[in-house]
Amino acid sequence: MDETKDFDSKITTHTMKLLKTALPYVNTSEQHFLSIYLKFSEFLNTLQLYTQEKGSISACKSDEKKQGNMIEMVNALKKVCHDHERETLDMMLNFLQAMQLYQTYSEFYKTTEQFKELEGTNPFAENNQMDMLKAFLTPEQQTMFETYKSLF
């Protein structure tokens, strides 16, 4: 289920949905009042939901697996973004996936005895892994990769 709609369903009543649907059809002065009323009602419902859940909004509680998962977050954000924003998120997603691949290779080869013995000649040593990952990226993504690499 779409997480945004799940949260909205917790704070928006059926009457509020009806008013939102009718909003474009009423006079401008009534639109002003109704829109403020609706947003204020949603705000009050959010506060009430938060206090009922004792510090955590249940609609925001998702799978423990999702929490901290940047790739899933970027994919969820792409569903509500404009095209130009989606392009930026795609670049970020490619970078995150490349970093995840790099970490997987690093962890795999660092945990084996063979890697420790052959570290000086292993084609999967850390520097060579970075070069391998960069080969899968476009020149623009390689530049971004180098920028982010310098931050870590």
| Domains of the chain by residue range | 3-60, 70-151
Among the listed residues 141, 34, 54, the one whose alpha carbon sits nearest the alpha carbon of residue 94? 141
Contacts of 90 (CB under 8 A, 6+ apart): 78
Across 78-106, b (16+ Cβ under 10 Å) vs e yields: beeeeeeeeeebeebbbbbebbeebeebb
pLDDT by residue (tens digit) across 107-133? 776 666 554 555 555 555 556 666 666
The whole-angstrom separation of Cα 57 and Cα 84 is 31
The whole-angstrom separation of Cα 40 and Cα 23 is 15
pLDDT by residue (tens digit) across 30-89? 899 999 999 999 999 999 888 876 545 544 555 555 556 788 888 888 888 888 888 888
Model pTM?
0.44
